[in-house]
Structure 1
Amino acid sequence: MWTPSPDIYCRMRNGTAPHWHKAVQKHKLTKRWLTRIVDERENNLDNRAYGSLKDLETYAENTQSSLLYLILETLDVRDVHSDHAASHIGKAHGIITCLRAVPYHSSRRQVFLPVDICMLHGTSQEDFIRCSQEKNVKDVIFDVASQAHVHLEHARSFKRKVQGKAFAAFNITVALDSYLKKLRKADFNIFHPSLQRKNTLLPLYFYVRSWKKTY
């Protein structure tokens, strides 16, 4: 069994180190997933915008997807199909997290959306900082959100090959679907007030999807 060095725990600054230590010991977690999360978080501390949509996906893979791999291991699920689904769901989660944070970051004069997509539609950081609702701004959001949707659909395309007990790790798709639905309803206006309101029906949606044994 892999025993993490004290260094990996010292690099965790949010008080989770003792819990990770217990999880590693109990579930024999894989070293590279935990290390990738810590490495990627540290590499992202300088608050740079993502150079491309691919860069955002890489960040999401190394953080959100890696976390899902670890959750699967705690459920005693270790197979390529479940990992494949986790990879795409994690990427969708990372992309949507970036979108959800746009209003917050814009209010602090920060923009982290992929530069290549912004350039493609001729948008600038100032467009987001002043909460523009012009078509080119919405087009950026549409392109980024569409990639998240593609990842979710890809993950579901082979769900019949995924072990049933892995579905519990993928409940996050309920919240991701909910946000994308609200974003479409808001015509991809990332600053629409409806996107900042909680969905009180999420617990019900979680229950229904769990009952249907799907993600």
Structure 2
Amino acid sequence: RKRDYEGFLCSLLLPAESRTSAFALRAFNVELAQADSITQKTTGLMRMQFWREAVEGIYCDSPPHQPVATELWKAVKRHNLTKMWFMKIVDEREKNLDDRAYRNIQELETYAENTQSALLYLTLEMLGVRDIHADHAASHIGKAQGIVTCLRATPYHSTRQKVFLPMDICMLRGVSQEDFIRGKQEKNVRDVIYDIASQAHIHLEH
């Protein structure tokens, strides 16, 4: 609830019988997001390995004694959730521990697909929806959400001397990472934000 308030609110809109499982999925995502933001890569890798092994244990009916893992195991049993989506989320979050900017918008979209979209695929499964058209919509919504999340996090990351926005768009507009770190508001900086946000909007139009 504290770490993903928007996700918490959205989960409240789901059928009552699905909410506990939805909260478990969101809590799993928060756990990985927190590991993703750890400054020490070694510590982050250890957290990712814990969750990789936790998922393996969940699908062998031997989840670790950890509250989120226990609830996730119940959700998997209740809804027959696909293991592959959990692993994609863990693997992609682990790659992100490299702590570097995305080379291009496609790389950011891949990250969003394997994290945000994968979470939506699991949510659909939890609701008993296994439909190619629903998955198509979830893919685009997840990509849009991932792009917007990257934009929204830029001020926070800038205070930590980090910028993750796609380098190709920044270079096209003649904007450096230093421009974001210094909080510049020039037109070319705003154009970078507009270009990236426009890509998210394109996904919502599909």
Q: Is residue 5 of structure 1 aligned with residue 59 of structure 2?
A: no
| TM superposition shift of 1:45 | 1.2
Residues 8/133 of structure 1: CA separation in 2 closer, same or farther (3 Å cut): farther
Partner of 2:205: 153
- Provide the secondary structure at the position in 2 that maps to 1:45: helix
Q: Is residue 90 of structure 1 aligned with residue 109 of structure 2?
A: no
Structure with higher helix content: 2
The share of aligned pairs that are identical, in percent, is: 66
Alignment of 1:1-215 (within 5 A): 4-6=55-57, 16-154=68-206
| TM superposition shift of 1:15 | 5.9
Q: Is the 8 A contact 2:59 2:83 kept in 1?
A: no
Q: Distance in 2 between matches of 1:8 and 1:124?
A: 45
Q: Is the 8 A contact 2:58 2:73 kept in 1?
A: no
Q: Distance in 2 between matches of 1:70 and 1:132?
A: 39
Q: Is the 8 A contact 2:161 2:181 kept in 1?
A: yes
Partner of 2:48: none
Question: C-alpha deviations, 1:38-79, integer Å up to 9, x for none?
Answer: 111111112111111000000000000000000000100000
Provide the aligned C-alpha RMSD in A. Answer: 2.3
Residues 30/7 of structure 1: CA separation in 2 closer, same or farther (3 Å cut): closer
Q: Distance in 1 between matches of 2:197 and 2:67?
A: 32
- Provide the secondary structure at the position in 1 that maps to 2:92: helix
| TM superposition shift of 1:106 | 0.7
Q: Is the 8 A contact 1:49 1:111 kept in 2?
A: yes
| TM superposition shift of 1:19 | 2.1
Residues 43/7 of structure 1: CA separation in 2 closer, same or farther (3 Å cut): farther
Q: Is the 8 A contact 1:61 1:91 kept in 2?
A: yes
Q: Distance in 2 between matches of 1:87 and 1:99?
A: 19
Aligned length: 150
Q: Is the 8 A contact 2:148 2:200 kept in 1?
A: yes
Q: Specify the code of the residue in structure 2 equivalent to 1:90.
A: G
| TM superposition shift of 1:8 | 8.4
Q: Is the 8 A contact 1:8 1:35 kept in 2?
A: no
TM-score of the aligned structures, taking structure 1 as reference length: 0.66
Q: Distance in 2 between matches of 1:120 and 1:147?
A: 15
Question: C-alpha deviations, 1:103-124, integer Å up to 9, x for none?
Answer: 1011111100001110110100
- Say which is worse superposed, 87-96 or 30-39, in terms of deviation: 30-39
In structure 2, runs of 5+ residues without a counterpart are 1-54
Q: Distance in 1 between matches of 2:118 and 2:75?
A: 15
Residues 43/72 of structure 1: CA separation in 2 closer, same or farther (3 Å cut): same
Q: Specify the code of the residue in structure 2 equivalent to 1:118.
A: C
TM-score of the aligned structures, taking structure 2 as reference length: 0.68
| TM superposition shift of 1:16 | 2.8
- Provide the secondary structure at the position in 1 that maps to 2:185: coil
Q: Distance in 2 between matches of 1:15 and 1:114?
A: 36
